[in-house]
Structure 1
Amino acid sequence: MNRPADDDDRWIRRFHPRPDAAVRLVCLPHAGGSASYFLPVSRAMPPSVDVLCVQYPGRQDRRAEPLVDNVPDLADQVLAALLPWTDRPLAFFGHSLGATLAFEVARRLERQKGLVAAGLFASGRRAPSTHRVETVHLRDDDGLIADIRELSGTDDRLLGDEEILRMILPATRADYRAAETYAYEPGEALRCPLSALVGDDDPKVTVDEAAAWADHTEGPFDLRVFPGGHFYLADHQAAVIEAVTARLTAR
């Protein structure tokens, strides 16, 4: 295939290229997260799965770029960046905000391009059709940091470093705003297999809210519940990778 344009390279990190893979797994991070969060996933995947990790604007090497603080615009831009990679089937793994974003990108891929995803893995996020009123993005910096600490999604050593905090808080706040202001627009269900993964003690999503993902696909659905909170996958990385690999390599 032709190499994607440089503009698309800003969005996609391909840490371990697998040019002969049958399917590509697109990984979309949580609020405040970056593509490198999925480095262990990329490393662990078999040769049959090529991992593409999405880098949102406003962090790490993209920190000087304008932030995108809403899911529809972010989904449109991620889809555009992924189009050069559609010579192979695309599957999606998204955690928290990334799960909602993965759903919207898969929706656009199917509606606009007629391409059905090879699978959607929605981790640590309630189904789009469920709703909560959340306003963490409106808190001051201390309030935002308190929520990040509660979820244990960022190393406390980083949260104690003022310089790093100044770098990550604007992007994190924009991501929170995107997640918390997302409004689901009803429409046809996806046709791809869909797996929901959730921690049994996640303050951001109940098991019932995760189970509601079943309403968003006409394809096979399964629900995996793990011990733990919002970042349950830190303690169950091997099991999560095994579940994803089994689904993708069974095609």
Structure 2
Amino acid sequence: MASTPMNTLWIRRFRPAPNPGPASPEATTLVCFPHAGGLATSFYALSQTLSERLDVVAVQYPGRQDRHREPAIEDLRELADQTFTALTEALGTERPLALFGHSMGACVAFEVARRLEEQAGVGRTTLFVSGHRAPSLPRTENLHLQGDDALLRDIRALSGTAPHALDDEDIVGLFLSSLRADYRAIGTYRAPEDAVLGCPVVALTGDTDPKTTVEEAQAWRDHTTGPFTLKVFSGGHFFASDHTEAVADLVSQHLATHVHAQQQ
């Protein structure tokens, strides 16, 4: 599962990028943003599935795996600032970018998309937001202020982590501090009232996700003046793990349509 060359501390590529024509959807780089406590490798399966169609990279936040000696970032806007800087340095701003964020990663991707539009003048962006309510619907969650048991109960309830890992004190010790930092980052995040993008936004959600209702996912519509699409899948918070092929098809088809529309 080693990444191919072009690695930075922040950006990981698991498969060689396709060699597309400049006007094809394959010319787009899909940048994936993990959930709270998540790793860049959580997007390995999606990267494999899309490897013949898109260039896929994933963000590795500080405080985990080979970055475990770095302090995790407890402020989501600071995390977005640093990711934006690393992303533009690694990939530049000429190539079209699509951002795919799951759970907390949806909000990080949203903030990075805002910076791409406002600071880098990047207009060819598409945002895919998965498993998180719209930023205009903040919810008071203080899990980061509670004990370790509360955090682990929440993780267990979402069924996104192997139960045996959560029963292993050594494994838990490796990710608990970064998990708490991520929970603080998303729990204290509030988007500005005027946080609206101009790019297409595609919201994905599971129909039984305890963290996000279909109506809360639909509210992402208020955060773009561009086209908006909502896709509901069967499943809970980590529905995408059961629908990798369908999610990959949705992403590639949407980007193909978006690229075609830009050429008109």
For normalisation by structure 2, the TM-score amounts to 0.90
Aligned to 1:228: 235
RMSD of aligned alpha carbons? 1.4
Q: Deviations over 1:62-109 (max 9, x none)?
A: 011011011110000000011131231110000000000000000011
Which of 65, 68, 84 is the aligned partner of 1:60? 65
For 1:16, the equivalent position in structure 2 comes to: 15
CA contact (8 A) 1:126 1:209 kept: yes
2:57 alignment partner, SS class:
strand
Is the contact made by 1:48 and 1:249 (CA closer than 8 Å) also made in structure 2? no
Match of 1:78 among 58, 80, 83: 83
Residue of structure 1 in register with 2:245 after alignment: 238
Is the contact between residue 26 and residue 92 of structure 1 (CA under 8 Å) also seen in structure 2?
yes
Shift of 1:44: 1.1
**Distance between the aligned counterparts of 1:218 and 1:159, measured in 2?**
42
Alignment partners' CA distance in 2, 1:234 and 1:41: 9
CA contact 2:206–2:236 (8 Å) conserved in 1: yes
1:43 matched to 2:48? The reply is yes
The residue correspondences of 1:1-251 to structure 2 (distance < 5 A) are: 9-18=8-17, 20=19, 21-84=26-89, 85=91, 86-187=93-194, 189-250=196-257, 251=259
How far apart, in 2, do the equivalents of 1:102 and 1:160 lie?
A: 31
1:218 deviates by 1.1
TM score, norm. by length of structure 1: 0.94
Letter in 2 for 1:125: H
Residue 187 to residue 139, structure 1, CA distance change in 2 (3 Å): same
- Between the aligned partners of 2:144 and 2:55, the Cα distance in structure 1 is 34
Counterparts of 1:119 and 1:241, CA distance in 2: 14
Distance in 2 between residues matched to 1:173 and 1:239, nearest whole Å: 32
Rounded to whole Å, the distance in 1 between the matches of 2:52 and 2:199 is: 22
Deviation (angstroms), 1:117: 4.3
Cα offset, 1:52, TM superposition: 1.2
**Structure 2 runs not aligned, ≥5 long:** 20-25, 260-264
Separation in 1, partners of 2:74, 2:196: 25
Q: Percent identity?
A: 53
Counterparts in 2 of 1:118 and 1:48: CA distance versus 1, 3 Å: farther
Question: Within 2, Cα distance between the matches of 1:218 and 1:113?
Answer: 19
SS in 2 for 1:144: helix
Call closer, same or farther: CA 1:159–1:58 in 2, change over 3 Å: same
Structure 1: any 5+ residue segments left out of the alignment?
Answer: none
Q: Supply the AA of the counterpart residue of 2:76.
A: V
Structure 1 residue 119: deviation in Å?
0.8
| CA distance in structure 2 between the aligned counterparts of 1:210 and 1:117, rounded to whole angstroms | 23
Contact 2:28 2:95 in 1 (8 A): yes
Q: What one-letter code is carried by the residue in structure 2 that aligns with 1:232?
A: F
Q: Contact 2:53–2:252 (CA<8 Å) still a contact in 1?
A: no
Whether the 8 Å CA contact 1:69–1:175 is kept in 2: the answer is: yes
Structure 1 CA distance for aligned equivalents of residues 244 and 55 of structure 2 = 18
